[in-house]
Chain A
Amino acid sequence: MTAVRITKCDGKTFADFIVAGTYFLRKYRSVVNDLNVFPVPDGDTGTNMFFTVRSAMIEACKVKSREIKVVAAAAAQGALMGARGNSGVIISQMFRGFAHAVRHKAAIETIDFATALDEGVQAARQALLKPVEGTILSVASAAANAAFKSAVSEKDFYSVVHAVVSAANEALEKTPDQLAVLKEANVVDAGGQGFVYFMEGVVRMLPGRAPYTTAFPRKPIRAATFTTRQKVDVNRYCTEFVLTDATIDADSFRALLLPQGDSLIVAGGEGTIRVHIHTDFPQRVADSAREHGVVSKLKIDNMEEQHNVLVVDREAKPRGIVAVVPGEGFVKIAKELGADVSVLGGATMNPSVKDLLVAVNKVLAPVVYLLPNDKNVILSAREVGALTDRKVVVVPTRTIPDGIAALFALVNTAADAQPAPEELLAESTVAVSGSIFAAGRDASIGGVAVKQHQLVGAVDARDGRPERLIDGDDAAGIALAMLRDAGDASLLSLYYGANRKLKDAEAVAETVRAANPQLAVEVYYGGQASSDYVISIER
């Protein structure tokens, strides 16, 4: 504990909090990654959370205003745009709920902080169809309760956040009792741990000094570590104008413009509002502004003049497809099945909401089918629709074999048809979707024990059966065991990864064919980094 007291948190302090939390998460992201237990080495929760809060931090630090409502809104937008994986989306919803709670405030006190934290947790819970206890949600809920209890009598932010960290830590220790899969692996929840680290970073911060100068021995250089921005091909127009005789207040106007771009600043009041936004639709922004006042000093700059993404002489088609795929081989397969744009993703690096948005905006079609093909990308995919003028139809495909089945279903509909996602999923005949990989660590799941580096199979949850490990002497043995697990099957597709050769895959296929003469066995290059083989067994 420190003798320094902070009793007011304005936008600047809030941004400092985020910087501190981000720094801590960056430092410990690999610890969080290692906690990620199933199916064995998914290993990206820490990285996902770090990228998400980093994006929040970048936007928060860009804001000139000292008002927390402005900074929190920018952070929320940043988190949303940078959200990766489930944990990232959950974090971004927390930021969003927090920003909503402080939307009228220039600065907050501890009790406001507690209320805002609670609203953040509620927002995250609402974003999930089925909130699961024993995860980051339980940890964050405990944190919010502790914040409230403490803030009732305590005005100092350090004391309150300290109470938050203690309570979050306690809740984290309980997660193995709430979630059997954690218990078996003897770990705490990775997302919950990430949340604790972030809050711990906040506690370690000292006002007036950057946290890393005192808290940590290794000193990252701020400019190089935190502020480099990737160039992206969305929101290319820096648009600025002044709205006079405004019939709308700045907050409502901000809310109106928020979905239209990023780096949004809406400042002013009393009938005059100044707007700065990076958008792809400057005229639309200006037009919508004209409904609420007189637009002047309109300035539109193309930030990437040389980078013309849209080929204008190409005809828009009625429907486009974006698929997230785990490897180069799958890019070709998806393209052949009609995908306009593929986004490389996969278990080790989930694409951010922004990556998905860029891909969706590349498609020259008013309706875009988005196939996440990974259960950890579905939530991010669902956020894209609100950020683009295209109609985004998310087909919640949980694995790449599901995605290929959905592409087949989609390609078999008329070019202008808009089948519902459920219809496409219902067409699937996938009985088993799984993978074969070298275990990243010793683990025991569902009674199957594996040693590090041992080849093991994992079958994804389906038809009410949970995810499970499949044992076998070698890749062919595991494939045959999966086949037995599948029951009736007519087709087994083997997609070999980047670390395998065609002849390895052919040898596995030959063994499977020899044991199942009636079965069609097909071998394709998938190019995924996360596994040796992706296996799809269809009825």
Chain B
Amino acid sequence: MSWRYAIVTDSTADMGPLAAANGVTVVPLTIRFGNEEFRDGVDLSSEQFYAKLETSPQPPITAQPTPAAFEAAYRRLLDEGAEHVLSLHVSSSLSGTYNSAALAASTVDPARISVLDTRSVSAGLAMLAIGARKLLDSGASPAEVLNALRGDIPHVELFATIPNLTYLARGGRIGGLRGMLGNVLKIVPILKVEDGVVAEQAKVRTFNRAVDQLVETAIKRIPAKGSARVAVLHSVAPDLAASVGERMRSGVAPSSLITCEIGPTVGTHAGPGAVGVCFIP
């Protein structure tokens, strides 16, 4: 199926089957275990990735897509008849993906390709992409959609907690979080994506309490019931994600509720067992 207006994102959006369903083209980041290189979601499924994460002697390393990969995707979409491409990407403070995309766009056709730094990641990116498709479906122009996205971006909130901090520490994406990695005491952080970077929302004693607290925080931060868009994200924790989703449903009666499975790229940093809530109030 070809679209009049194409939407492109990268594999940090963790869209899975939601990509195809919403007409979103995903450009994969690459994951390398030692000398083996994989394209996220193309030749490495989430299932394979987490199995490898357990067994591989070498920790995975992620790399942004090359500008060439974006060029190829943009050219293909324009060739297939798209009038305009909206390319939405992971926060440029977390990854160089946005730069690759912007470079490719300027090479291919800057007038017909709009590249946006969403300042978010994973389910946040997924919700914005799905929101963009809905607006286009309702007849909005690409310029109007861009404006709407720019309005939404400051309101996207993402809270998550991870049971094991070693992946985050190893991945080096901890920035200001360095201080929270305790040596003596077991501390579970609640993380938030704020201003495009991962920050610490709170420190708690146990993972279960972290989950409770992040759900409570999310519910508290959604003032109007019935209108928020909500996403639950998780890595290999479908049951937990389902229960979190249930609690969000009864807590805020979201206008839409999606579930995103954290894929290889984000999973390299989060590890298995993570869970989070993302919302646009």
Contact = CB atoms under 8 A, between A and B. Distances in A.
Interface of A: 329, 332-333, 336-337, 408, 411-412, 429, 490-491, 493, 520, 522, 524, 538
A538 B206 CA distance: 10
B177 to A, nearest CB: 13
Contact of A490 (B184, B186, B187, B206): B206
B182 interface: yes
Given A411-B203, A412-B202, A412-B203, A490 B208 contact: yes
9 contacts: A332-B183, A333-B184, A333-B185, A408-B203, A490-B208, A491-B209, A520-B205, A520-B206, A522-B186
A332 B184 contact: yes
Contacts of B184: 329, 332-333, 336, 524
Contacts of A429: 209
Interface string B174-218: 000000001111110000000000000011111111000000000
B212 to A, nearest CB: 9
B189 to A, nearest CB: 10
Contact of B208 (A408, A520, A522): A520
B206 A408 contact: no
Contact of B205 (A329, A332, A538): A538
A538 B202 CA distance: 18
A408 B202 CA distance: 9
Contacts of A412: 202-203
Contacts of A524: 184-185
Contacts of B183: 332, 336
Contact of B206 (A329, A332, A411, A491): A491
Contacts of A329: 184
Given A332-B183, A491-B206, A524-B184, 20 more contacts: A333-B184, A336-B182, A336-B183, A336-B184, A336-B185, A336-B187, A337-B185, A408-B204, A411-B203, A412-B203, A490-B208, A490-B209, A491-B205, A491-B209, A493-B205, A520-B205, A522-B186, A522-B205, A524-B185, A538-B205
A412 B213 CA distance: 12
A520 B185 CA distance: 14
Interface residues of B, number: 14
B174 to A, nearest CB: 16
Nearest to A337: B185
6 shortest interchain CB distances as A-B pairs: A412-B202, A520-B206, A332-B184, A491-B206, A336-B182, A336-B184
Nearest to B212: A490
A412 B203 CA distance: 6
A524 B205 CA distance: 13
A131 B266 CA distance: 59
A223 B64 CA distance: 76
A408 B182 contact: no
Contacts of B208: 490, 520
A426 B165 CA distance: 28
Contacts of B205: 408, 491, 493, 520, 522, 538
A524 B187 CA distance: 13
Contacts of A490: 206, 208-209
Nearest to B213: A412
Contacts of B185: 333, 336-337, 524
A111 to B, nearest CB: 60
A490 B212 CA distance: 12
Counting chain A CB atoms within 10 Å of each CB, the highest count among B184, B203, B204, B208 belongs to: B184
A329 to B, nearest CB: 8
Counting chain B CB atoms within 10 Å of each CB, the highest count among A332, A333, A520 belongs to: A520
Contacts of A333: 184-185
B23 to A, nearest CB: 42
A290 B187 CA distance: 53
A491 B182 CA distance: 18
B33 to A, nearest CB: 32
A464 B147 CA distance: 58
Nearest to B204: A408
Contacts of A520: 205-208
Nearest to B188: A520
Contacts of A493: 205
Contacts of A332: 183-184
Contacts of A491: 205-206, 209
Contacts of B207: 520
A333 B184 CA distance: 6
A522 B205 CA distance: 10
